């Protein structure tokens, strides 16, 4: 990964859309380690909810909750990747 503890999210990576308008986005200035930790938490919860959705006979609430958690986790990962890729390009690797 990186040894630079200064790396922070750039922000504005969209998470959830209504039509073609982003309703939520990642905020800038969050340390990359914290952002990726939160993404891991979101994705862990989404994984658990998708398993529940596979066995539940309800109205899809587990699936929709997992969908939104996965979207938020993906946005955090994508935003972090943008920073890491920029750092990689800047360092000449």
pLDDT of amino acid 77: 97
pLDDT of amino acid 93: 63
Angle formed by the axes of helices 61-91 and 32-55, to 10°?
A: 150
pLDDT at 2 over 70: no
3-state secondary structure 20-33: CEEEEECCCCCEHH
Cβ neighbours of 13 (radius 10 Å) = 21
pLDDT of amino acid 57: 76
pLDDT, tens digit, 9 for 90 and up, residues 44-93: 999 999 998 888 877 788 889 999 999 999 999 999 999 999 988 888 76
16-36 mean pLDDT: 95
């Amino acid at each position: 990964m990186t040894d630079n503890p200064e790396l922070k999210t750039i922000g504005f990576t969209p998470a959830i859309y209504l039509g073609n308008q982003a309703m939520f986005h990642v905020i800038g200035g969050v340390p990359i380690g914290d952002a990726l930790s939160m993404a891991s938490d979101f994705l862990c919860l989404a994984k658990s909810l998708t398993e529940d959705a596979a066995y539940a006979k309800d109205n899809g609430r587990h699936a929709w909750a997992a969908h939104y958690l996965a979207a938020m986790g993906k946005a955090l990962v994508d935003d972090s990747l943008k920073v890491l890729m920029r750092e990689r390009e800047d360092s000449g690797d």
